[in-house]
Amino acid sequence: MQGLVNLKSWGGGQDDLYEKIAKLGAVDTPFFSAINKYMPSRKAERWKGHSWRYEDMPTGKSSAGFLGGSAPAEAESWGYSNSLNHYEIFKDTYGIEGSMEDAQNVEGKAELARQKTMAAINHRLTIERSLFALDQAPVQEDKANDVAGRMGSLDHWCVTENTIDADDNIMSDTLLRNFAKIGGTDKGMPVTHIYVNDLVKDQIDDLFKAQVRRGAGGKVVEFPNYTEVKNLAYSPNIKIVYSRFVEQGLMFGVNMPSLAFVYQRLTKDEELGRVKDAVEKEIITEATLRVNNPFAVCKMENIKV
């Protein structure tokens, strides 16, 4: 992605504290685990937010007939649109009383290390929850008025053009096909992942019950927290993923290659100054969500559950 460096190619991915949290994975934070992680190629003043351009896609002409020997077609050019999100600072402080500094838990693990693990899990779950928050638009930081910067969530990019109202109907083949059409027809943004809570996922799984194959090669394959559907209309492959952070009756779809989680600074475990008889540390992340095209995100609402 233009203006970004992938953490894997940069070699910084393992420096991120998230990469070292063994207890948390795709089942707990399925969106964060799937999205690509980046750093800006040039650091800017982060309070201004993270802005980028994305390409306007060709759609073809409605009439292309020309006379033999006629002048060339009128020149066309495909420009760019702009989008903006803001960096958000996530913090979690953990610690122990001074008398517990050398204590161990029942597994023989130092108590401070256990608290670090729990705080790190909480930190990552907070970010996952924020990515699925409803009505969360970007907020520019304003220190003078004590306004903290907030990143716009997936819901921020869901407007009339890429939102379907299920009108209090249960999930059906028609609704699912129309959902896949949003980015998959003329926008070049086919849905790759659908995130739903359990009740809607159950409805979708029931649609494919007769086709489920619990082995390789089947059109529909069930895994512990997601169902993979191959060759669905308007999308070659979709993972339907359970997430407890999506509200019941809602469904979010994304074209994952068009999204990025962008760090202004990687997650750090910082030592806090000791001002009392306690050992305290702080986990801190500063990052935002980038959506390269508005049709890389879509939503269905008011599904009957």
Is residue 82 scored above 90 in pLDDT?
Answer: no
Most trustworthy range by pLDDT among 112-126, 186-200, 212-226: 186-200
Is residue 99 scored above 70 in pLDDT?
Answer: no
Q: Are 15 and 8 in contact (CB under 8 A)?
A: no
pLDDT (0 to 100) of residue 133: 96
Is residue 80 scored above 80 in pLDDT?
Answer: no
Spatial CB neighbours of 138, under 8 Å, sequence gap ≥ 6: 49, 84, 85, 86, 150, 151, 152, 156
Tell me the domains of the chain and their CATH numbers.
Answer: 4-56+83-152+260-291 (3.30.2400), 161-256+295-303 (3.30.2320)
- For 3-41, write each residue's pLDDT tens digit: 888 887 765 554 454 444 444 455 788 999 889 999 888
Residue 143 sits at the vertex; the CA angle it makes with 141 and 144, to the nearest 5 degrees, is 130
Closest C-alpha among 132, 122, 154 to residue 246? 132
pTM: 0.84
